[in-house]
Structure 1
Amino acid sequence: MITMPDRARVAARGGRWATVACWLAGAPLAAWALVRLTGWERGPLVLAIAFTPYVAAVAPAVAVTALALRRRAPAVVAAVAALALIGAVAPRALPGDRPPADGPTLRLLTANLRLGSADAAALVDLIRARRVDVLTVQELTPALAAGLDRLGLATLLPHRSLSPEVGATGSGVYARHPLRDGGHRRNQGFFFTQAYATVKVPGAPPLRVESAHPAAPYAVDVVPDWWTDQRAQPHATPHGGLSVLAGDFNATLDHAALRDLIATGYTDAADAAGAGFAGTWGPCDGDPLPPVAIDHVLVDRRIAARSAGTFPVPGSDHRALLATLRLPAG
């Protein structure tokens, strides 16, 4: 027979375990929010912080559960963390203010071609169907570049600045309009190249476009390379010429390095168009990962982002990202 003192001891033990469970759920949320808000992401935190939107989605449930269990202190901690995380990510679903750009419309597509294994026909069909004006590509190989031209890219986007290489290091910029000052630079992390050129769009000022591809932080020991490449990305020139940086950044808007780059005078086109949650990498090739947005089109703040969307590219582990932009007149 269980006596009243025995029941009290069991209840006390159950209460302690409930308290411990609430803290075990709430404390990591608080730590995550602190890292996200301060930008203190180092080592394995660089990989983890990419999944902040999913943590933000779970955080309110933790707060509500702790409150239902009458564990007020962990409930308050979880609620504050939830508010901080939701405040950081929620604006991506809302269109932002647009600058008064009144020049021509430009449709820019960026795509990681995964070691040149992307389906060339599907990519050309996408470019034709979406009337793409500028294409930036990463992991462009000589064989794929030749295949794209055979399938009609040479006619659709005849102007180009290419750096095709075997493996993952190649890149390219293709355009419907004439290019000048083309070339490429090589990152120091994984030695990915970043092709660039200036596009002369009729009715707009010259527009410098670069295909971005910093190192991927796939393991802790390569995070320093990731930081090196992120810091080497070209800053915006708000008091100079127009520029666009588009490609596989291997970073999300929750990474301080990318936010610092944007703060130099860029706007993330998908974020500005209210499509900032659209994942571009993760489960695209069967990996058991939730999708995250690591491909971006960063535009000069004088350029208006009208819309953005993602499209599958068979053979690639990324989805292509298309941004429709309104350029200033010039």
Structure 2
Amino acid sequence: MAAPSTSHLLRRATAWAAGLLLVVPTAVTGCRLLGTDAVTPVPQLLALLPWLAVPAGLALLGALLVRRPVLAAWAGGVLALALWFTQPYGPADTPARGPVTARLRVLAANVEFGNATGELVAAVRRERPDLVFVSECDPACARALGAGLGDRYPYGAHVAAAGPAGSVILGARPLTPEPALPGTTMGMPGATARVGPGDVTVRLAHPMPPLPGLIGLWKRELGLLRDFAAAHRGGPVILAGDFNATQDHAAFRSVLDSGALHDAARLAGAARTGSWPRGRAVPPYAQIDHVLVSAHFSVRGARFLDLPRTDHRALLVDLDLHARP
């Protein structure tokens, strides 16, 4: 029997390589299609979903080069799904109608264990938001914010805790603090904000990240945010912070859907702008920091700000509150 030719071996190796390239994109896009976050490492890889079009595209090219139609169809299908899911999730606008009763600027920032507190103070004084949502703000961070911003932000709600569990909401407008969201690992303070002629329910979001071994906890805490959103459906709501989830995670999409909330960055045309990880060898690739608003608001603009000494980009959003949704 004649030995396989070099070209035959090369075609076989190319086909095997293409198949291997498709394993992870197939599993992840399949979970996205089925609406499940599954188990480790799926939630972590879902944050990379748009980038999975690269290995799928390489696999398609390889399959075409070696003329493997079944392999090419598989690669083409996975590539099509990966590209389809890069589209922003949800409607392109809110149904807010009627006259504008108030204008509001909101800033959400994770200061990474309080490291970027000074930089946040400078950004707040420069940008002048009406509401500031600060994640990973320990007691020292909270004191520094009070010293640096107390003259302009006399109102607040906070959870005093060490490390990443501490959180603060600051208000230039009157705030009535509400109890922190119960049953969570990290603090999620809330308040009722007096905005224009009425009240707005505000809540800081900071569920546990989807670390290996903690996927169930991550899903449960996003479920608590989903329940909060559902319970306040019908009234003006702002839910902002570090969600540790992107639009490709089913648990995050359930928060949007249950409360009829809208992602402000998506409405401003920045749905795929990365907010994490900042300051690494690669640019931010996952948008896990969000400002979610109810149908009472329209979005005038959204910008991501680079704050030194934190691994998150801050999100600044300009909102209009309308008379009716």
The answer, yes or no, to whether TM exceeds 0.5 is: yes
- TM-score w.r.t. the length of structure 2 is 0.89
Q: Give the letter aligned to residue 116 of structure 1.
A: G
Q: Does 1:258 align with 2:252?
A: yes
Q: Does 1:115 align with 2:113?
A: yes
Counterpart contact for 1:26–1:63, Cα < 8 Å: no
Q: Which residue of 2 aligns with 1:59?
A: 56
Q: Give the letter aligned to residue 214 of structure 1.
A: P
Deviates more, 1:122-131 or 1:45-54: 122-131
Q: Does 1:170 align with 2:166?
A: yes
Please, which of 189, 207, 232 is the counterpart of residue 214 of structure 1? 207
Deviates more, 1:103-112 or 1:157-166: 157-166
Q: Which residue of 2 aligns with 1:229?
A: 221
Q: How far 1:290 sits from its partner (Å)?
A: 5.0
1:269-289, Cα deviation, whole Å (9 max, x unpaired): 11121101121111x243667
Q: How far 1:100 sits from its partner (Å)?
A: 3.5
1:286/1:28 CA distance change after superposition, 3 Å: closer
Counterpart contact for 2:88–2:272, Cα < 8 Å: no
Which secondary structure does the structure 1 equivalent of 2:12 belong to? Answer: helix
Q: Which residue of 2 aligns with 1:71?
A: 68
Q: How far 1:322 sits from its partner (Å)?
A: 1.1
Q: Does 1:300 align with 2:294?
A: yes
1:99-178 aligned within 5 A: 99-101=95-97, 102-103=99-100, 104-120=102-118, 122-151=119-148, 153-178=149-174
Q: Which residue of 2 aligns with 1:274?
A: 269
Q: Give the letter aligned to residue 240 of structure 2.
A: A
Q: Give the letter aligned to residue 96 of structure 1.
A: A
1:145/1:28 CA distance change after superposition, 3 Å: closer
1:198-228, Cα deviation, whole Å (9 max, x unpaired): 111114x31111010101122x212121122
Counterpart contact for 1:162–1:183, Cα < 8 Å: no
**Identity score, percent:** 31
Counterpart contact for 1:119–1:313, Cα < 8 Å: no
For 1:178 and 1:202, how far apart are their aligned partners in 2? Answer: 11
- TM-score w.r.t. the length of structure 1 is 0.88
Counterpart contact for 1:186–1:192, Cα < 8 Å: no
After TM superposition, the runs of 4+ consecutive aligned structure 1 residues lying more than 6 A away are none
Gaps of 5+ in 1: none
Deviates more, 1:164-173 or 1:248-257: 164-173
Deviates more, 1:27-36 or 1:74-83: 27-36
Deviates more, 1:265-274 or 1:289-298: 289-298
Gaps of 5+ in 2: none
1:59-82, Cα deviation, whole Å (9 max, x unpaired): 334323422332222221111111
1:154/1:319 CA distance change after superposition, 3 Å: same
For 1:280 and 1:11, how far apart are their aligned partners in 2? Answer: 46
Which secondary structure does the structure 1 equivalent of 2:303 belong to? Answer: strand
For 1:118 and 1:154, how far apart are their aligned partners in 2? Answer: 17
